[in-house]
Amino acid sequence: MDALLHSPSSMAKRPCPSQNPRIPNPNNPFDMDHLLETLLAESSSSFSVDLAFERLLDSRSSDSDQTRLIDRALDLGTLLLEAGKRSARKRASKHNSLAWALPPDLTIKVFSMLDTQSLCHAAATCSMFNKCAMDPSCYANLDLTANAAKVNNAVVSTMIHRAGKSLQSLKLGVVQGPNILAGSCQPLVYTMRNSVEVSNFSWNDKRSRQGKESSILTRSCLSPLVGGSGAPGTLLRSLHLYNIERMDNTSLCGALSACPSLLDLEIVGLHVELRQTLMSVSANCHLIERLFFESSKTGRDDSLKSPTCVDFVNNCPNLTALALRGFKLHDYKVRILVKFTENFV
């Protein structure tokens, strides 16, 4: 045991070096295997290890040599601890791969049905689950909403890049309400034929809560959607944004310009203009079918002009559901906006 931490310089001080055990060569795997086996065999008795280490310390004449020996022992212990942890993880992963009944393709299919939080928990379970959970299809429908500010830009960016072009729906921000379930989002649904709040939110209650719990997301949280033809926003179908107070017109319009396939857009509690939003949707999201826009503040919006309303109606022929809450619009602007419903009512 004493030979395990000896250095060549210390061995040279011995009066009879030929009587000492041969120092293992670290470049020889057989010597290292024997050394480790000997060390682990001795480690079954902590008392013998303590005595051996004390003898080694006593054999060092200077305080600096003793300090170096202690540091080497600590480094060796750290290396053995990390090696043990890695081996334990490998054994557990191998066991899981043998015990798990589903093949990887079906495991990925199951993971793709999980909500985002559950998927992240599954990915942290073992390396086999982590490998399956890295498939882009598992992140096709991202729900990063919560009833408190927990998700930051880095988390959003990581999740969007994992999804890549497989991204189909994205929900971001803080959703507040008495009946909201942790880790889930039940959006408001409002159509011209059926104005029902399926989430059971109270309009007055929700209005009073706005601003008391804001998102930690910044205006650049949607920047991962933007890019060339291979950008994650290319095939995005649904985008829901809640109470991201730092979001501005430029950032939102930039994100919408990267989402030509968008069918469903829901905006609640953002400090963005109705006119700018309708112009961006009209110019970039011609396939839009549903638009829900709830203002972060009440009051008349005189910035919205009639030509903007006309362009919006003409450029979005598939629109079948429109809700504008918290806006005080002139009647003639409203008539233009609801003109598209004549064939649906």
> How many angstroms separate the CA atoms of 113 and 110, rounded?
5
Which CATH number among 3.80.10.10, 3.30.565.10, 3.40.50.150, 3.40.710.10 corresponds to the domain 140-175+214-343? 3.80.10.10
Q: Give yes or no for residue 127 having a pLDDT over 90.
A: no
| 20 or 140, higher pLDDT | 140
SS3 174: strand
Q: Which two tokens stand for residue 204?
A: 């007055």
Alpha carbon separation from 137 to 125, 183, 250 (Å, rounded):
19, 20, 30
For the beta carbon of residue 327, count every other beta carbon within 10 angstroms: 17
As a whole number, mean pLDDT of residues 206-232 equals: 72
pLDDT > 70: what percent of the chain? 72
Q: Give yes or no for residue 281 having a pLDDT over 60.
A: yes
Please enumerate in sequence order all residues whose Cβ is within 8 A of that of 126, keeping only pairs 6 or more positions apart, or say none.
89, 92, 93, 96
At 212 the pLDDT is 46
Average of per-residue pLDDT values in the chain? 78
At 169 the pLDDT is 96
Alpha carbon separation from 229 to 235, 258, 324 (Å, rounded):
10, 9, 32
Q: Give yes or no for residue 230 having a pLDDT over 80.
A: no
Q: Give yes or no for residue 240 having a pLDDT over 60.
A: yes
SS3 198: coil
Domain boundaries of the chain, sorted by first residue: 64-99, 100-136, 140-175+214-343
At 199 the pLDDT is 37
Res. 6 pLDDT band, cuts 50 70 90: low
Q: Give yes or no for residue 239 having a pLDDT over 60.
A: yes
As a whole number, mean pLDDT of residues 303-314 equals: 89
At 289 the pLDDT is 95
As a whole number, mean pLDDT of residues 88-111 equals: 81
